[in-house]
Amino acid sequence: MFRRTRYQQGTISCVQRKRGPDCWIFRWRETDANGKRVRRKSTIGTVEKYPTAYSALKAAEVLRITINQEKPLAVQQPVSVAALIDHFKQTEIGPMPEGEDRDEGRAFSTREVYADYLNLWVVPKWGGFMLREVRTVAVERWLRTLHLANGTKSKIRSIMSVLFNHAIRYEFLPQGMNPITLVRQSAKRQRIPDFLEIWELVALFEQLSSRNRVMVLLDAITGLRRGELIALKWQDVDFEHLELSVTRSIYQGVVGRCKNEISQKPVPLDPWVAEELLTWRRASPYNQSGDWLFASDRKKGKQPFSPDAILKHSIRPAAALAGITKHIGWHTFRRTFSTLLKANGEDVKVVQELLRHASTRTTLDVYAQAVTSAKREAQSRVVQMIWPKAKESVAPLLLDPNGPSNVSGVSVSD
């Protein structure tokens, strides 16, 4: 018999059966509606399904809180954060049960990110706590001690909030008792992410092979996410109507649906980019309708190239040869696309549609950076409204840097 750990309520034992494999039995005590302590037991599963005591214990925790949700809050047993996380994984982000639509709910990439964040940070610190022991200020102070970017800490906070809302939804906590709601954590960037200037893009193109050039060009002109880019097949390219159908995404080698419904809208294709794609199709050994656009030779076309491998072994070395010192990732091209659209004065709604964001707020707050020339021109337009002759009076100075040091009575040094 394996005794309970600090945060588990009950014991499990491996019982031998006359027929079939041995099975795990979970035994616990609880208080019934009359206030009397009673013994309970339930079968967890066979040793084939749960080969170790640890795996059986985790299953027992999920079983126990599942039993809990059928009782009034007043007689429920305390639930640990670790048990809640196991329940959350099983019901919200785990593999879909047979018969359910895998396109429903969260995307595979989102579920994987949730699981990683919970396993890496939340379980080690908070797993042994009961839900009612988690306090707002304690979580806030803990986040401050983490040597992580603000965006990462904000993501941890958001996932914890989702976790406790899950507890409220299943009535493991009363309504309004999410301790994470009032946790303060800034998501402000500690450094401005890089984007590429036009000359940098052109210089990079010149250093890339034909295949990699098409990949970067397509990404920089459409703003596709990395997983969407490598998940493209030739059947998704409509050369006649100049459109891309973005219907799938790949994350960690798993093909799944796109991030959201808006992400699946058709993407316009510039004629020049379409011509480059057509040229690449003629050169590619994998150019049939069902083939990947960027199929891996090593995998004999059955899988697309690894985006991380191409970035590490081809794109970043090419950027160094082109004299580009900025840190480049696949998201750099998407951010560059957004920034250049804004610099061209495109309507924010058009930019949102091209990037397939759920809201214009994401477009403005996260991606679109104003380039220096655009900011200067905007500032100059305001100056001209205040002082219409400003442009005329500074023209001599702009034309001749060695000219007079005093323009309209104002010293340049001032």
CA 88 – CA 170 distance, rounded (Å):
10
* pLDDT over 90 (residue 241): no
Q: Which CATH superfamily is domain 198-367 in?
A: Intergrase catalytic core (1.10.443.10)
Lowest mean pLDDT among 112-116, 247-251, 292-296, 369-373: 369-373
Residue 250 is given by DSSP the state E
CB-count exposure of residue 254 (10 Å: 0-12, 13-18, 19+):
exposed
DSSP string, 268-333: E--HHHHHHHHHHHHH-S--STTSBTTB-TTTTTSSBPPHHHHIIIIIHHHHHHTT--S---HHHH
312-323 burial, b if ≥16 CB within 10 A, otherwise e?
eebbeebbeebe
| Confidence category of residue 48, pLDDT binned at 50, 70, 90 | confident
- Nearest in space to 351 (alpha carbons), one of 235, 362, 283: 362
Max Cα distance, the chain (Å): 104
Please name the amino acid found at residue 411. S
**78-191 belongs to which CATH class?**
mainly alpha
Higher-confidence residue of 352 and 325: namely 325
Do the domains 78-191 and 198-367 sit in the same CATH topology, yes or no? Answer: no
In the chain, % of residues over pLDDT 90: 35
Q: Residue 302 in contact with residue 294, Cβ under 8 Å?
A: no
* pLDDT over 50 (residue 101): no
Lowest mean pLDDT among 135-139, 152-156, 224-228, 352-356: 352-356
* pLDDT over 90 (residue 318): yes
Give tens-digit pLDDT for 319-328. 999 999 999 9
- For the segment 190-210, the average pLDDT, to the nearest whole number, is 88
* pLDDT over 80 (residue 370): no
Q: Residue 44 in contact with residue 25, Cβ under 8 Å?
A: yes
- Nearest in space to 85 (alpha carbons), one of 142, 136, 127: 127
CA 331 – CA 340 distance, rounded (Å):
14
Mean pLDDT estimate for the chain: 79
Domain boundaries, the chain: 78-191, 198-367, 372-411
Predicted local confidence at residue 381, as pLDDT: 66
Task: State the sign of the Cα–Cα–Cα–Cα dihedral 337, 343, 348, 350.
Answer: negative
Higher-confidence residue of 136 and 110: namely 136
* pLDDT over 60 (residue 272): yes
Q: Name the H helices within 80-193.
A: 81-88, 108-117, 123-126, 136-145, 150-169
Higher-confidence residue of 299 and 383: namely 299
| Confidence category of residue 23, pLDDT binned at 50, 70, 90 | confident
